[in-house]
Structure 1
Amino acid sequence: MKKIYLLLGLLVLTIACEDTDLDQFPPNIASSGSLTDFAGVLNAAYFYQLGAVTPIAVMGDFRADNAFMEEEPFPAFDRFNSDLTDMEDQFFGPLYTALYRSIISANNVIINSTDMTQVGEAKFLRALSYFKLVQVFGDVPVTLFVPDIGDISTFDLTRQPADDIYNNVIIPDLIDAVATLDNGSISSGRASQIAAQGLLGRVYMHRGNFGNAESHLAAVVNGAAAAGISLQDNFADIFGEANDLNSEIIFATQVSSSIVDEYGFSEFWSWSGGLDTKSLTPLDLSLVAAFDASPGDLRRATTINEETLASPKFPQTGGPDHDWIELRLADVILLYAEALNENGSSPENVLDLLDPIRTRAGLAALDHTVLNTQPLVRQAIADERRLELAFEGQRWFDLVRTGTAQSVLNFTDANYLVAPIPISEILVSDGVITQNPGY
């Protein structure tokens, strides 16, 4: 099932960096000029995504109103002030480092490989990495080449505007990936055309470009069946190690207990399940109330446990082998409905899209004669996304992209819509990398 990792174990031993500073090029990696087969380097780009999984998962739910921390200083996730810098070692530092390692590996493939499928996958992974970086940190440094050790002193580490990164890297990379890839690799867990198209649609949603988002998301929804993608009949069957790479999954970061993850702390399934002492009862009562407002919702038992005040969505059994779902069909359907609504489509056309998701959840279709305005439909979709995607790392980023984070979470300072740049990176760059305001 973990096909990407079958060839990876030996590779990781050869290329992994032991120094966490980003300006230390992996000392044992072969120079690009001496390589002829870049499959191993591409697998490294996949592998380094693992270090980003838990930080994104924790930020997506614990920074929002689905979960909370109990042991100081970790409740800083729910305090919108400079205290968040205390989270660098466990969350923001590993996230930052892992994604740049993935980017450097992807750059090597993009620049040097003659295999266009490899290049397409690498562009997908580079786009995914930069997308996560700008979502979390805002402006970040950009490198689109493979550094030699002698070039370290000439690196331009200046943070580039997030808008430029979207327009010059993320979106072009995904457009190229859509053009280059096919859908023959979905069952193996590798990047595919439909995954690139779905991620591009999500990126456009985050940009507020609903026209472009609609066309790409429509392509995914309408092309899902031909690509072998379909909603699972049972919501619970989406999750857990036994259900990895099920029919609903468009792309997931594959996790395997047989491969040592560079992330050295509790993993995402431990946090949501209340298995880390920093948050033994992480379930926010606000999420319980949201399910209370959806009586009979079959997603409830899979998502929340009111006795343990935790989430069973990713069970402890098989925990170290749970894949991290980056994109699944229900997520794309909800984004597509949102794009249609923002583009002025009728409530009936928009809400009809939600019917299969709600039917699976044991719920009746939404009444478009009652939800008959764009704002009412917008809120209905937001409510549906919260219940469908809770503990999948989406909630915080949904609130930020829709401009509702401050009102929903009750804070005023917009500086805290992004996280602090790791202080270690500021220091190692000699101050060229600057800190975000407010931190």
Structure 2
Amino acid sequence: MKIKTYITLFIISLSAVSCQKYLDVEPQASVPDDQTIFDRASSQSALNGVYSSLASGGYYSTTFQSIGYLSGDNIQWTGSQSQVQELINHNVSTGNATISGAWVAIYQTINRANNLIAKVPEVQDAAFTETERNRILGEAYFIRGLAYFDLARTWGGAPIVTKPTVLASDNIGLGRRPATEVYAQALNDLNTAEPLLTETTDRFKATRKTVWALKARFYLYQKDWAKAEEYATKVISDTKNYTLVRPYSAFFANDARGTQESVFEIFYSATELNSHRNQWQPQTNGGTRQWAPNDAFVALVNKADSGGNRSVLVVKDNQNRWYGNLYYRNPATDPSFVIRIAELYLIRAEARAHRGSAADLDGARADLDAVRDRAGLAATTSTTQGAILLSIEQERRIEFALEPHRWFDLVRTGRAQAVLKIADPSKLLLPVPQEQIQIDPSLLPNNPGY
């Protein structure tokens, strides 16, 4: 069923038999509140639905993640679909199916969170404790904050919707808010989530520590170096629960999941598979190998003085072709890694390097070297601010090569045009999908250049 609205209607319906079943309803229909979120059990089931949407193929399973690395310089496309090559060539059309799929999936996630945020405070159930109610709300706010952060860094301006979508026409005419306001909405959601959540450790659900980690990333993008360092340090300091596991492969190899490396990863199972795996694995392993490491990245990751033990990210198939091996499980239950502790070290390193004092540069090198040491590399030889920042950029390129960081890293640092040879700066934001504009002309004007 094709749902024809940019804020896709996602009314969560619970069957009379089980609170675990979620149904998409017709865009023109509505479901009474007392049939959706009405007690403790249905509130938890609705939260499960928010996580399921975050884990969907359009969002953190495949489509959105692919934007982060196909648009970078580590991955090549071996298939024939021109819409994927558009990302690699940095010439994305408004009709591109990848960007359309990601846009719709993110707004589906937002709408599920909106339903929860609107209805859970009104639930009357003696078994529903205030602590549990706060936890459910806090997790929904966190996921909505992540969704708005992802919208802002991908498209810039976007519609801000904070109430449940009941009718297909509910959000027509809202228009796009500037990127600054979309980022502000993301931060507001994280600020709201933080006191509602407890300072516990859960690698598959949002906690206060997960909020801190995403805040560190948020402030890095905002170039607020002091706050980026502050929030990264909050997580790094919890050495009992978070550490750079050794060797590098230990956080994903041998069916590992939920290791001390992970701050937040998405869980998949035999009944909810991560479709990412099939894009990377070769045909002999039941995949398509349509996404493959390019020659430049293969050379980098296999060099002893740059890749170190991260060379396990690439493997050769029976035709002597390299393929990415972060996602390899059969069935495809590989986690999607949203935030790892390695990122927090490199966020703090970058923030310290930008602050620039002698003590800050020493601290930046120490954080950078922590990640390098885990990879089996010698300490960095960079000493100046500029050299340290370039070394951090290189480290992030290899460390997160098969995760959705490279494109966004180059754009936020102002390095994308030089590194990726992009002549037109308008290509640093993706276009609003044309099919959404046809539904709602208030989304115009599109981003410059489209």
Flag whether TM exceeds 0.5 (same fold): yes
1:44 and 2:73 matched? no
- Which deviations, in whole Å up to 9, do the C-alpha atoms of 1:198-245 show, x marking residues without a partner? 1011011111222221111111111x224x222212211211572121
Q: Aligned residue for 2:239?
A: 225
> 99-108 or 330-339: which moved more?
99-108
- Contact 1:333–1:354 under 8 Å retained in 2: yes
- Contact 2:201–2:209 under 8 Å retained in 1: no
Q: Distance in 1 between matches of 2:183 and 2:188?
A: 8
Q: Distance in 1 between matches of 2:158 and 2:151?
A: 7
Q: Distance in 1 between matches of 2:73 and 2:282?
A: 16
Residue type of the alignment partner of 1:35: F
- Contact 2:262–2:341 under 8 Å retained in 1: yes
1:132 and 2:139 matched? no
Change (3 A) 1:366 1:127: same
Q: Aligned residue for 2:10?
A: none
Q: Aligned residue for 1:171?
A: 187
SS at match of 2:246: coil
Q: Distance in 2 between matches of 1:392 and 1:211?
A: 26
TM-score after normalising by structure 2: 0.83
> 154-163 or 125-134: which moved more?
154-163
1:345 CA displacement = 3.9
- Which deviations, in whole Å up to 9, do the C-alpha atoms of 1:98-130 show, x marking residues without a partner? 211211121222233241111111110000111
Q: Aligned residue for 2:196?
A: 180
- Which deviations, in whole Å up to 9, do the C-alpha atoms of 1:172-206 show, x marking residues without a partner? 2112222221243505x110111111101101111
- Contact 2:110–2:144 under 8 Å retained in 1: yes
Q: Aligned residue for 1:302?
A: 312
How many residues end up aligned between the 2 structures?
A: 410
- Contact 2:235–2:242 under 8 Å retained in 1: no
TM-score after normalising by structure 1: 0.85
Residue type of the alignment partner of 2:417: Q
Out of 34, 38, 43, the residue aligned to residue 35 of structure 1 is 38
Q: Aligned residue for 2:105?
A: 98
- Which deviations, in whole Å up to 9, do the C-alpha atoms of 1:77-102 show, x marking residues without a partner? 222224x44532xx222211221121
Q: Distance in 1 between matches of 2:254 and 2:55?
A: 16
Higher relative contact order (CA 8 A, sep 6+): 1
| CA-atom RMSD in angstroms | 2.7
Q: Distance in 1 between matches of 2:68 and 2:282?
A: 16
Q: Aligned residue for 2:250?
A: 237
Residue type of the alignment partner of 1:334: L
Q: Distance in 2 between matches of 1:193 and 1:325?
A: 18
Change (3 A) 1:94 1:27: farther
- Mapping for residues 263-412 of structure 1, pairs under 5 Å: 267-274=275-282, 280=290, 282-291=292-301, 294-295=304-305, 297-305=307-315, 307-315=320-328, 317-318=329-330, 320-346=332-358, 347-367=361-381, 371-412=382-423
What are structure 2's unaligned runs of at least 5 residues? 1-13, 122-132
* Identical residues among aligned pairs (%): 24
SS at match of 2:265: strand
Q: Distance in 2 between matches of 1:199 and 1:271?
A: 27
What are structure 1's unaligned runs of at least 5 residues? 1-6, 262-266
Change (3 A) 1:278 1:127: same
Residue type of the alignment partner of 2:259: N
